[in-house]
Amino acid sequence: MSKIDTKTGVEQARYRTAAAPSNPSRTSVNQYGDVAVSSRDPGSIIKIMALKQKCIDSNNNGMIDTSTGPNDIRPWGADECVVWSQTFPSPGYSYGPRPTAWEGVAQDPVTCETPTPRLWGGWMDNQNNAHFVRLDGDTGVQLDEVIRPNWFGSGYGPYGGAVNSAGDLYAVGLETTLIHIDAETLVLDDIQVPADLASYGFAIDKNGDIWVGHCFGEGVSTYSFANNQWTTIPNAGGTRVNGVQADRNGNVWGAGSDPCRLVQID
């Protein structure tokens, strides 16, 4: 996992994500800049602190031992900015954790304290049960689990996920399934998708609406909760919009791979 200064493009640190090669894939950054990294096989999620002063001096030597650049990769367990790791019994690469999404938290108006965000993740067992888990942001301990039987996602477990301003999780399967989990009640609902939706990249914009990049076929699709309606924007310059993200200025960005390109949608 690389930490890159976005103003200079310089790689500031590089971290191991597990004790052995583990197929790291999805990431999520919380409002403090800390990152969660999900690895697919063997399945795990780790947390890396953004600020050195918030890392943990676990060997009590009076300093924080952590990576200082791409050629300084510490052994697993020796980098003190990797503060926790949570493993999952996913049976292989196709089943391992992919959806990774921090909730947003607000300051308590009485105590003036801002709690550490919790983290959503998702994986699948070999009985096609999708497991959606919410972890304690400080420790990685599993707090909640919601199971969706008969997950259908072209042979893969939950593929991507995002959280809205209420902390609800939305998660999508490869080409097919879309679910919503209420942050308070933990009730899971399916959201109907168009028959031709080949879902891959996934994001939620500032209005709480869904954006999905297509794995096959041209386009990016969006779902408006106000209108309860899907709309597909066909002119995305090609197929496979793999990663999707929305910014606060009303743009949606997509990383296309066939051909390789950057997609921008107003």
Q: What is the mean pLDDT of residues 121-150?
A: 97
Alpha helices in the chain (DSSP H): none
Q: Please tell me the distance from the alpha carbon of residue 22 to that of residue 210, in angstroms, as a whole number.
A: 30
- Which positions ≥6 away from 145 have C-beta within 8 Å? 131, 132, 133, 134
Residue 259 burial (CB < 10 Å; 0-12/13-18/19+)? exposed
Where residue 133 falls among pLDDT bands split at 50, 70, 90?
Answer: very high
Whether the pLDDT of residue 200 is over 90: the answer is: no
Q: How many residues does the chain have?
A: 266
Q: What is the pLDDT of residues 211-221, one digit of tens each?
A: 999 888 778 99
3-state helix, strand, coil in the chain (%, to 5): 0, 40, 60
Whether the pLDDT of residue 235 is over 80: the answer is: no
Confidence (pLDDT) at 237 = 85
CB distance 140 to 84 below 8 Å: yes
Give residue 207's identity as a one-letter amino acid code: N
> What is the token pair recorded at 118?
């919790």
Q: What is the mean pLDDT of residues 229-254?
A: 90
